[in-house]
Structure 1
Amino acid sequence: MKKTLYSLVFAFILGTAPYAIAQKSTTNTAQFVTQVEGIKEYKLNNGLQVLFIPDASQSNVVVNITYHVGSKHEGYGEKGMAHLLEHMLFKSTKNLGDIKKMLSDKGGNANGTTWYDRTNYYEIFPYSEENLRWSIEMEADRMINATILQEDLDKEFSVVRNEFEIGENNPMGVLMERVINAGYVWHNYGNSTIGSREDIERVKAPQLRKFYEKYYQPDNAVLVVAGKFDEKKALEYVNKYFGAIAKPARALDEIQTKEPAQDGEKFVEVKRAGDSQAVGIMYHTAPFADKDYAALSVLEEILTSDPSGYLYKSLVDTHKVSSIWSFSPQLRDAGFMFIGAEVSKEKNIKQIRDEVRTELDKIASNNYTEADVKRAQSSIAKQLENLKNNTIGQAVNLTEIIGSGDYRLNFIYRDNVEKVTLADVKRVAEKYFRENNRTVGIFIPTKDEIRVLPNEVSSKEIKNLVTNYKGREVEKEAKAFEASIANLKANYAEGKLNNGLKYGIINKEIKGEKVIISLNLPISNEKDLAGKQEIGSMAAQLLLAGTKSMTKEQIKDKLDELKSSVYFGFSGQNLTVNINTYKKSLAETMKIVKQMITEPTFPEAELEKLKIENVTYLEGNMNDPQSVAFTEIQRLTNNYPKSSLFYTSTFQEMIDDIKKVKRTDLVNFYQNYFGANNGAASVIGMNEKEKIQQLIDDTFGKWNSKSKYEKAYPTYHATVKNDKIINIADKENAAAVGGLNLKMNQNHSDYPALVIANEILGSGGFLAARIPMRLREKEGISYGAGSYLDVPSDPKNESASWGYYAFLNPTKRDAVENAVKDEIIKAAKSGFTAEELKSNISSWKTSRETALGNDGTLLALSTNYLLNNISFDEFTALEKKIDKLTLSQVNEAMKKYIDLEKIISVYTGTFKK
């Protein structure tokens, strides 16, 4: 399924003390409560709940705090206040000062999100005692000491409004919001979390402070610390910083609003600019804590999964819609299931809507089978297992579970999914999937309706449900792995198969004994691949569509059962294969992969579905400002003939090429071009070299490309200043994108200085570089702005580029253009400061250290070494060069390479009304 998402009551303390001190320091010492499957729970006397999830195999630590406050808690005139407050808490505090600057200086990853029931903030850093201490101190400080200044709010509401406008450009997003809004009569789940534009613009700092002081308190929060960290030190810091905050005297009232049973099918029609059509349907369902939620999840998989889903088969296989997906958020109160279907613009949308409704009417009476239930349970189990074994992701994802009532509900949900029976599926299908319980968008009087009233779950019931829950035995912990190049080299082995395929093995354990194999398989040459990009891409995608021995449905079912995932993709000259599995499933998974690459059938029906899906997706991008801007800048900066691998097609050209593809084209491409003999495979999570070599050899050792491989290189094209405005009708948001070409690779002596110049100008830190600071923080005219630098590592490639981007209200086009160009001029004329150089080098290095804690980074380093002979030592060598940089070298690189007279700019949006 494609998941679409749309993104302190506290007596104010006077005096100089950083925090309100509790009666006795011992009363606010974290006390151990329980341990559930590796999650250790503590509680402070002031009400703060603390969860520790240690994982020695990680090199990073995440601190994530969740507040039980979201858009559900907003009253009249407050729509969007929870989300706006989330933005404001990245401004400053009375004790620590500028939060964004500190986050920027430290590097790492940080973010905040708001949803119906909760708001969260998290930071991910390479583990050190100082990073752990600072994160906990900072979260405690901004819990009660945020400044929330009117001058900051005046700038930030424009940024939030711009974020709102970006969402207004998404046809499916707008449809989904309108359908959900129409589906609810009283409950605040019917209101968009991003809020009302009018409320966002009119809210004042005192109003926001009242909201902040009501909900941002320890008894309304859950702190999660996960990854690699010293538990004793973490408790010490929690006690020191959070323990010093007094328990508030007030008690928060539980929201009592209950959505009444819907009493008739509703209809919504949205008419907005766009190219692709869509149908959206919402059914009222159950809270996450209700057992029905698990049964509904199983039914959701049975209905919409590709390729076995009942709705998928009746609507996608028959070409009535190009794709179908569903979304069931984990909510505290009775929630909903949203089903979305994208429809080709050639179709009659009202006829398709009625045909979709006809299929929905069958849900309650479909003859579901035991095999359907088992298949769905396997798919959900795989998703849950993968998340559980990604500790950093698990810690952040717990935000949703905590918001729904309690962190243990996640395990109870898993247990409930495993217990779902065929009778349960039929029961929830009959209970919830009634015509009078759905919104497709008019009131229709009917008689003898059986109205649906979803179950409610009280806080007391949740407490009783989770109090004595112990969960399953804690699995064996993965070994610690230091995130450093030296350690990577010490734990790396390589080899080569007889057919030429190289492989590298990273001896690093992953939680749950997970194994990841990443293959990059270069093929053919520029001449033979001319005009075949869409054919190659579709051939790669359809390797999963069936073999001589297994159908597409059987392949997916088996992979779900094995908790494995396989991906094929093709672009340029590279076929990529990604395999995610577990040690116990590796051998069987590789047998399936071997079938896919040696006996694919490329079913005609699957090709037609894929063509419709891809065309519909491209149609949706044809008038999207951001998509158009980034595509057009590529076309203007890279002047290649259409036959070249490096040519950038227009959306219409891609659509035309896709419609021409025939099954015989795919078969010929597969037979003549695909193969592994020039490629590289990188493995992480398993270090048995002989076994791995045997598996890779058995799978890919005889899969060779017939076409001679010659690596194609792009050529450098000098760019000349040019501004292009593309008007797109009826768009709330606009985009500005600029770029210039550089003749450089990473061996160039100026590369290190240019890296840091770009960091300071537009790419570094947490929104602290000059371009985002000017456009977002100072002037509030762009939600997203920055710059990027793309320099190849291959010593034979000298085609590099630099660019900037900004997303804006169309009325701010001139202001954005002037601000970006002014920052470039000032940087070239006056240079950067010594403080900027120091802080950006520090945050850049920290971000790279953070990246080394990511398995994807380690696999990429291995692949680059195997294919391009780029030594791991180059990673640290670049850091050493950057450590030696002088301010004059960085300023000189800025003046030398970022030249306004060479920048091409594209502006897309509704600039003329």
Structure 2
Amino acid sequence: MKHLLLGTAVFFLMGAVNPVLAQKAESPKFISNTEGVKEYSLSNGMKILLIPDPSQSNMVVNIVYNVGSKDEGYGEKGMAHLLEHMLFKSTKNLGDIKKQLSDKGGRANGTTWYDRTNYYEVFPSSDENLQWSLQMEADRMVNATILQSDLDKEFSVVRNEFEIGENNPTRVMIQNVFSNGYTWHNYGNSTIGSKEDIERVKAPTLRKFYEKYYQPDNATLIVAGKFDEKNALKYISDYFSVLPKPNRELGGTYTVEPAQNGEKYFEIKRNNDQQIIAAGYHTSAYADKDYAALAALYEILTADPSGYLYKSLVETQKVSGIWTFSPVVRDPGMVYFNFDVPKDRNLEEITRIVKAELDKVAGIKYTAEDLKRAKAKLIKDIDDGKNNTINYAIGLTEIIGAGNYKLGFLYRDNVENLKPEDINRVAQKYFKNNNRTLGIFKPSPNEERVFPAEFRDNQIAELTKDYKGKALEKEPAPFEASIANLKKNLTEGKLSNGMKYGVINKELKGEKVQGTFRLRFGNEKDLKGKNAVAKMTASLLKSGTKNRTKEQIQDELDQMRSSIDTYAYGQNLMISVNTYKQHYPKVMAILQDILTNASFPENEITKTVVETNTWLEGQLKDPNAIANNELQRLATPYPETSIFYVPSLQEQIDNNNKVTKAQIVDFYQNIMGASDGAGTLIGNIDSKTAATELEKTFGKFTSKSKFTEVKPTFFETKKQDKNIITPDKENAVALGTSSFKMKQDHPDYPALVMANEILGSGGFLSARLPMRLREKEGISYGVGSYLNVPVSNEVASWNYYAFLNPTKRAAVEAAIKDELGKALASGFTQEELDSNKKSYANGRKTSLGTDNTLINLVNTKLIFDIPLESFDEQNTKIQNLKLSEVNAALKKYISENSVISVFAGDFNKK
């Protein structure tokens, strides 16, 4: 990586967008410390938030600009989002941003929303990474190149992203609720923008937008995780304080959405089997106290299984599912209700029923018990967010966009202080049919129109200026992200039934405790024809027990800010537990009840089948789902009697309809068990206490069916290209696979991993496939490749994917085959190998800083006896690879004549 010398901030600013000499460096001014969020400011108007967390192994730099789709004018729809893409291209002083992000090996992204745009990088904690990130963000704040040649390629990538959304019925419905619901305010416009505006905007116009909004007085910089605060403040001083405050005045937006005059109705007709009813209501800004009361009301209405609307619509199987979406926004917003309707239901009749139930919302008398349940869920979500520092720092983006980061604390306080009368008040205020977007226009005299309160900047400043927050929580102890430290803090054991377990002693923020358990079950004979039954059984474990109803299970977990999730695949029952140290025994007791006393109510079985099949019906004409299913069926042609048989999407629906309660109970009682399982807990929890509760939970959960791992069959793939036409779909997909024999302990595995990194998966969009199709030609929004090499058998594969405009099908196919052909014919370069070795090592280090990686490493050791040291050994082997070994591995295992490709889309489009 190229470094600028310490005095060069003044030098590189000479070429900045404002032809003004850099001002003298200054130290950031300390403002406040609110619950561990340390606020600073610079005289140029820039705000800084430092959130140190020594327990992390990673750090994040996140910069938020107060500009989004709300700020776009005529002919500028999508400009904020398009600019976000362009700022990953290059700067005048640092050059190729993506290449340098790739070399650093962390993860990075940029996002755009109604009120804000942000860019963040997550790296392993180091002073070098911190300095580079701050230097880079300061440079692209004012020195982005924004070249027309780059824009000519990128606009088609953004257009393809737009088209992907057009294939998704839910996204189409959300956008139409908002666009129909808003008459004047820009919240009615899609953030991704108008396809026509995206295609026609020119670089000089985009640059004017950039120069106006990408300035220090319109930005908030966040540094969080493990970092040296003194050095962070020094680098901020060096790189950001010297940026001059611009002379222009932003002025802000001033459009206020008028009160709606009556109920609105719209209808979308597309080629799709999925039926959806959607409703939107104008609601409050995030700064309004009403926002917290409304959030609780949404939970009270839709929660599974206690919600009023859930009981009246899902329990009675009028609809298969219900959920809400209410964005965190600066100005008065909207809430979106989504009702999924099974294909065999009459949509007009269900629409009348849904409207009738929504009309009842304002008249219900909500109780203290309703509020208690909702508050527990909301506070659990708030605590979960606050106690994951990296995600919290990124999540603050939305709250900053809404006006001020302290609004998040006020929202929490407002939730904690809610009273039943608050819920009843907002239900009566906002849930009027003349405030709804769903139906037809209907004149009505003497309407009492809804007009949410507007919050000006001075009002938000007044709300937040003296806010102090709650007392600081105890900081968790540092935890070194290394295999040696993992081994040092790992306790292993075995339960009386043979199940293995691991306990990682690591302090997590808020004294959280997490666990993942993989319980293996069955054999080829006992599992024959039972794939649908296995999945259904796992999904229904929380539907009720002999001791608790489904509602009681969910209420207890929410009150303890905890969760238990279960699902099955193949011969595995996966269980994840998320709780806190003080609640660990009680949560494990609930899990024990679920595993040994599940009752599988008939009504819950019916609901689950309907919900699952409604989702599958939505996949029947989706290009991605169709292509993926067909590729698996072509590449692995198992007979229907095999447990590895891949049913068609329609067969999956049919199989689900055949599942009975007797089959589920039989599977639960005779096949599921923990004797051949393993699981790992992480948290600051005593290993003996952990083991005691694990024994109580899993010790008696045994199976009458002996577990014998069923090994897959190797099918040699042969070249085949298949086209599937999916009419009236804006986006298309290309998927491919090639099979070979290999386990992860094979001597060639490291070389093949590196070959695939260079070809399609390494770095930050810098591998050959994304570089060719996305960066150079702009014909695919997402493209890459990946390996599937197992631990316990030799049935492996290399795979590729690409999302594309249907008219680019031939170009995408040609580019993918050309890049694979060139790699096989000429191999890779030493420069590519050296670059990917570095990014691979940094990526592994970043991964090791996450709790899920630590858990997965221990579980793999317990189940397959893979030493923890193999994680480091893998990287050592990668770093010692020779170019000839990498090129030889690619040629040995991948052949153009062995790739099956499936293309799905509306290829009749012109």
Task: Give the TM-score, by structure 2 length.
Answer: 0.98
| Corresponding residue of 2:3 | none
Distance 2:514 2:165 in 1: 35
**CA deviation vs aligned residue, 1:112-160 (integer Å, no higher than 9, x gap):** 0000000000000001111010011111000000000000000000000
Kindly provide the CA deviation profile for residues 608-663 of structure 1, in whole angstroms up to 9, marking residues without a partner as x: 11000000000111111111111211111112112222221111111011001111
Displacement after TM superposition at 1:187 (Å): 0.2
Offset of 1:22 from its aligned partner?
8.5
Aligned-pair distance for 1:19? 8.9
Cα deviation 1:387-426 (Å, max 9, x = unaligned): 1100011000000000000001001000001111111100
- Cα distance between partner residues in 2 of 1:487 and 1:27: 41
Instruction: Look up the SS of the partner of 2:567 in the other structure.
Output: strand
More deviation in 204-213 or 681-690? 681-690
Deviation at 1:793, TM superposition (A): 2.0
Give the conservation status (yes or no) of the 8 Å contact 1:633–1:738.
yes
* SS of the residue 1:346 aligns to: coil
1:313 aligns with 2:284: no
- Corresponding residue number in structure 2 for 1:120: 118
Alpha-carbon distance between aligned partners in 2 of 1:645 and 1:421, rounded to the nearest angstrom: 53
Amino acid in structure 2 at the alignment position of 1:731:
K
Cα distance change, pair 798–451 in 1 and its aligned pair in 2 (3 A): same
2:558 alignment partner in structure 1: 560
1:802 aligns with 2:802: no
The residue matched to 2:528 in structure 1 has which SS?
coil
- Residue 185 of structure 1: SS of its match in structure 2? coil
Alignment of 1:408-807 (within 5 A): 408-794=406-792, 797-807=793-803
Residue number in structure 1 paired with 2:401: 403
2:498 and 2:25 map into 1 onto residues whose CA distance is: 66
Letter in 1 for 2:247: A
Q: Which residue of 2 aligns with 1:5?
A: none
Give the match for residue 828 of structure 1.
824
Q: Secondary structure at the match of 2:781?
A: strand
What are the Cα deviations for residues 150-207 of structure 1, in whole angstroms up to 9, with x where unaligned?
Answer: 0000000000000000000001111111111000000000000000000000000000
Residue in structure 2 matching 1:83, options 51, 58, 81 = 81
CA distance change for structure 1 residues 689 and 771 in 2, over 3 Å: closer, same or farther? same
Residue 609 of structure 1 aligns to which amino acid in structure 2? K
Could you report, residue by residue, the CA deviation over 1:447-480 in whole angstroms, capped at 9, with x for unpaired residues? 1110000111111111111111110111111110
| TM-superposed deviation, 1:687 | 3.8
Match of 1:863 in 2: 859
CA distance in 2 between counterparts of 1:426 and 1:695 reads 42
Given residue 669 of structure 2, which amino acid in structure 1 is its aligned partner? Q
Map residues 81-160 of structure 1 onto 2, 5 A cutoff.
81-160=79-158
1:218 aligns with 2:219: no
1:191-236 deviation digits (Å, cap 9, x = unpaired): 0000000000000000000000000000000000000000001111
- Stretches of structure 2 that go unaligned for 5 or more consecutive residues are 1-9
Asked if the contact 1:27–1:45 (Cα under 8 Å) also holds between the matched residues in 2, the reply is: no
Moved over 3 A (4+): 12-28
- Counterpart code for 2:211: E
How many residues are aligned here?
Answer: 900
Whether the aligned pair in 2 keeps the contact of 1:38 and 1:54 (CA below 8 Å) is yes
Q: CA deviation at 1:34?
A: 0.3
1:42 maps to 40
Q: Contact between 1:715 and 1:798, CA under 8 Å: does it hold in 2?
A: no
Query: In 2, Cα distance between the equivalents of 1:350 and 1:659?
Result: 25
What is the DSSP-based 3-state SS (H/G/I as helix, E as strand, rest coil) of the residue aligned with 2:327? coil
Decide which of 187, 192, 195 is 1:189's aligned counterpart.
187
Identity %: 58
How many Å apart are 1:78 and its aligned residue? 0.1
Maintained 8 Å contact 1:29/1:45: no
2:15/2:143 contact within 8 Å kept: no
Cα distance in structure 2, aligned partners of 1:602 and 1:33? 56
Task: Check whether the contact 1:19–1:245 (CA below 8 A) recurs between aligned residues.
Answer: no
State the Cα distance separating 1:782 from its structure 2 match. Answer: 0.4
| Shift in Å, 1:367 | 2.2
Q: 1:341 aligns with which of 334, 339, 342?
A: 339
2:844 matched to which residue of 1? 848
- Counterpart of 1:357, as a letter, is K
Which secondary structure does the structure 2 equivalent of 1:835 belong to? Answer: helix
Q: In structure 2, do the counterparts of structure 1 residues 17 and 201 end up closer, same or farther at CA, with 3 Å as the change threshold?
A: closer
Q: Which secondary structure state, in structure 2, belongs to the residue aligned with residue 362 of structure 1?
A: helix
Instruction: Flag the 1:329–1:697 CA change in 2: closer, same or farther, 3 A.
Output: same
Of residues 635-644 and 513-522 in structure 1, the stretch that sits farther from structure 2 once superposed is 635-644
Q: Is the 8 A contact 1:495 1:503 kept in 2?
A: yes
> Could you tell me how far apart the structure 1 residues matched to 2:318 and 2:841 are?
51
Deviations 1:238-264 (A, max 9, x none): 111111111111121021100000010
Match of 1:207 among 205, 208, 230: 205
Residue number among 160, 167, 178 corresponding to 1:180 in the alignment: 178
Please give the alpha-carbon distance, in whole angstroms, between the structure 2 residues aligned to 1:182 and 1:15. Answer: 45
Shift of the 725–347 alpha-carbon distance from structure 1 to 2, 3 Å rule, reads same
Corresponding residue SS for 2:527: coil
8 Å contact kept, 1:752–1:878: yes
For residue 618 of structure 1, what is the amino acid of its counterpart? L
Structure-1 residue corresponding to 2:6 = none
CA distance in 1, matches of 2:895, 2:215: 50
CA distance in 2, matches of 1:230, 1:89: 27
Once the two structures are superposed, residues 356-396 of structure 1 have per-residue CA deviations (whole angstroms, 9 ceiling, x without a partner) of 00000000001211100010000000000011100011000
Distance, in Å, in 1 between the alignment partners of 2:542 and 2:488 is: 36
Query: Which whole-Å CA distance do the structure 2 matches of 1:694 and 1:769 have between them?
Result: 48
1:59 and 2:78 are equivalent in the alignment:
no
Aligned partner (choices 389, 392, 396) of residue 391 of structure 1:
389
Q: Which residue of 2 aligns with 1:9?
A: none
Contact 1:48 1:220 in 2 (8 A): yes
Shift in Å at residue 286 of structure 1? 0.1
Q: Distance in 1 between matches of 2:314 and 2:832?
A: 54
Aligned to 1:8: none
Match of 2:29 in 1: 31
Q: In 1, Cα distance between the equivalents of 2:22 and 2:829?
A: 47
Counterpart of 1:892 (choices 860, 864, 888) is 888
After superposition, the Cα gap between the structure-2 partners of 1:441 and 1:99, relative to the gap in structure 1 and judged at 3 Å, is farther
C-alpha contact (below 8 Å) 1:587/1:695 kept by paired residues: yes
RMSD: 1.4
CA contact (8 A) 2:63 2:220 kept: yes
Paired residue secondary structure (2:135): helix
CA deviations on 1:332-370 (whole Å, 9 max, x unpaired) are 000011000111111111111111000000000012111
Shift of 1:912: 2.1
- Partners of 1:90 and 1:244 lie apart in 2 by 23
The answer to whether the Cα contact below 8 Å between 1:678 and 1:709 also exists between their aligned partners in 2 is: yes
| Matched letter for residue 299 of structure 1 | L
TM-score, L = length of structure 1: 0.97
AA paired with 1:220? N
Asked if the contact 1:22–1:247 (Cα under 8 Å) also holds between the matched residues in 2, the reply is no
Q: Which amino acid aligns with 1:537?
A: K
CA contact (8 A) 1:52 1:226 kept: yes
Cα deviation code 1:301-324 (max 9, x no counterpart): 000111111111111011111100
Does the CA-based 8 Å contact 2:12-2:93 persist in structure 1? no
